[in-house]
A = this chain, B = another copy of it.
Amino acid sequence: MNQAQNLINRLTQLGFVSNQFKTHADDLTFFGKDQTKHFEPNPCVIVFPKSTEQVQQIVKLCNELQLVITPSGGRTGLSAGAVASKGEVVISLDKMNKILNFYPSDRMVEVEAGVVTKNLQHFAQEQGLYYPVDFASSGSSQIGGNISTNAGGIKVIRYGMTRNWVLGLTVVTGDGKILKLNKGMLKNATGYDLRHLFIGAEGTLGIVTEAQIKLERPPKNLTVMVLGVEKFSHIMQILANFQHKIDLSAFEFFDQVAMTKLLAANTVVRPFESDCAFYALLEFEAPYEPIMDEAMAVFEYCMEQGFVIDGVMSQSLSQANELWKLRESISETISVFTPYKNDLSVLITHVPDFISEIDKIVADNYPDFEVCWFGHIGDGNLHLNILKPNNLTKDEFFDKCKIVNQYVFETVQKYNGSISAEHGVGMTKKAYLNYTRSCDEIAYLKGIKAVFDPNQIMNIGKIFD
C-alpha cells in the first residue's frame, strides 16, 4: 500500500469522509499547481479538511508517515509557492470557507482561511465596512493564501499590505501544534509576535487555518485621475506634489508599451488624445468640495510645470472604474506576448535611476526585446515585463531572459531592493533569494523553520532549499 493510501485510511479512521480526498489524475494536476508553468504538478493526494482540528490530524500523521505537505489556497500565486511537484500531500483549504464571528465594535471579522478575498470584501460591504486589500485575482485568491504571501495590490500606499489587516491567526505548526496568535487584539506586548512570522511564510512554518481580520470604513467618493507624462522624472514630481496636498489611495504607473497593447487589444477606451511615454493613475477620496479644488490646483500646477501633458479626472464611480481598467487590464492583455515577469521593489527615491539602468541593460543585451513597465510607484513596486519577440521560441526566450535576470537582480541588490515585492519567493525566485537577503539572514530563516517544522515536512523546497 502506498503512503497516500495509508494516509487516507488513517484519516478515514479518524472520521474523514471520502469526499475529503481527491486522487484522480486530473484533480492532482488541478490542485497541484498555481498560475506558474515552470513545474509539472505531481502531488500524491489532495485532502480537504473541514476544521483546524482536522488540519492538525493531517499534519500529525504526515509527521509520522514522513510525508511532505503543500498548503493550497486559491492557487493564484505567481512564484510556485503552492505547486506540489514532488509527491506532496496537498492540503486544500477549499472546504474551510466560512465567515465566522463579526465584532462590530472592533470592526473585526473571524474567517476560515479558505474564504475567497472577494467574499470577504462583500461581507465587509454588507456591514457598511471595507476590506482594502485588493488585486486582480481577488475573485479566486483565498485569505489564507493572501496572508501566507502577505499580498499587496493596488491600495498599499494608503492601506498597506495584508499584514496590516491581520489581528489574529490560528495556525497549525509543522509539528502539529495549534496556536492562536494575538487573538484579535490591537495592542499586545507579550513577547515575539509569531503572527507576523507566519504572515508571508508561504506555508513553510505551518498552515494558517483561521484569521481575525480588521475592517475599515469604506472610502468616500473615490476619484481617479489619469495623467499623461513625457519623462519618467515627471512621474516623481507628480507624486511629490499630489502627496503633499492629498491623501492618495493609489498611485500607479504604466508605460507607452502597455498603453499601445491595451489599445490594440480594444480592451480599453483611450483616456485622452495625446500619446505619452508614461501614464500615472492616481486615486483619492474627495468627500468634500475643497479636496477636489486642491486636487485641481495641483493638477494645474503640474500642467504649468510641464510635468503633465494631458489628463482626465473621473466624474463618477463608473468613470473611475473605467479609468482603473487601463491599469488593471495590462497583465491579462500582455499575457499573449508570453511576458517574462519580475516583481521588483526599491525605495521610491531610487525608482527613476533603477528603471533607467534596467532599460539600458535590456537594450544593450537584447535590443530586440520589448520591455513593458507598470506597477505601484507609490510603494516603489515595479512590474518588469519583457515581451517575447516573434522570432524566438518560448524556451529560447526564457533562456535569454534568465541571463538578463542575473543583471536585473544585481541591479536590485545594488539598490538594496527586493527581488519579490509582493509575489513571494516560492520555487521560481528561491535561487535569487540571496540578492535581497544576506547569507546570515537566510541561515536564521532556516533556523526558525527548524523550530516550527523539525521534521521538515511543511512546503519543503519553497523560499529556500
Contacts and interface: CB of A to CB of B under 8 A. Distances in A.
Interface in A165-215: 173, 177-181, 183-194, 196-197, 199-202, 205
A418 B349 contact: no
Interface in A102-129: 103-108, 128
Interface string A219-243: 0000000000000000010011001
B103 A191 contact: no
Contact of A106 (B347, B445, B452): B347
B194 A444 contact: yes
Interface string A329-352: 000000000000000011111000
B191 A416 contact: no
Given A416-B184, A451-B451, A191 B437 contact: yes
Interface string A439-465: 011101101101110000000000110
A41 interface: no
A191 B150 contact: no
A391 to B, nearest CB: 34
B105 A348 contact: yes
Given A105-B348, A239-B105, A348-B105, A179 B441 contact: yes
Contacts of A376: 187
A367 B291 CA distance: 56
A464 B200 CA distance: 26
A236 B105 CA distance: 8
Contact of A189 (B192, B243, B425, B438): B425
Interface residues of A, number: 88
Interface in A384-417: 416-417
Interface string A245-267: 00100000000000000000000
Contacts of A247: 217
Most buried by B among A104, A149, A345, A347: A347
Most buried by B among A196, A199, A425: A196
Contacts of A288: 288, 290-291
Contacts of A42: none
A142 interface: no
A70 interface: no
B105 A425 contact: no
Interface string A413-445: 000111111111100010001001110111011
Given A179-B441, A247-B217, A438-B180, A421 B188 contact: yes
Given A105-B236, A290-B288, A448-B451, A197 B187 contact: no
A380 B106 contact: yes
Given A193-B199, A200-B192, A240 B104 contact: yes
A144 interface: no
Given A104-B240, A345-B185, A438-B180, A190 B420 contact: yes
A188 B347 contact: no
Contact of A186 (B200, B239, B381, B445): B381
A353 B156 CA distance: 36
Contact of A185 (B181, B347, B448): B347
Interface of A: 103-108, 128, 149-150, 152, 156-157, 160-161, 163-164, 173, 177-181, 183-194, 196-197, 199-202, 205, 217, 236, 239-240, 243-244, 247, 287-288, 290-291, 345-349, 376, 379-381, 416-425, 429, 433, 436-438, 440-442, 444-445, 447-448, 450-452, 463-464
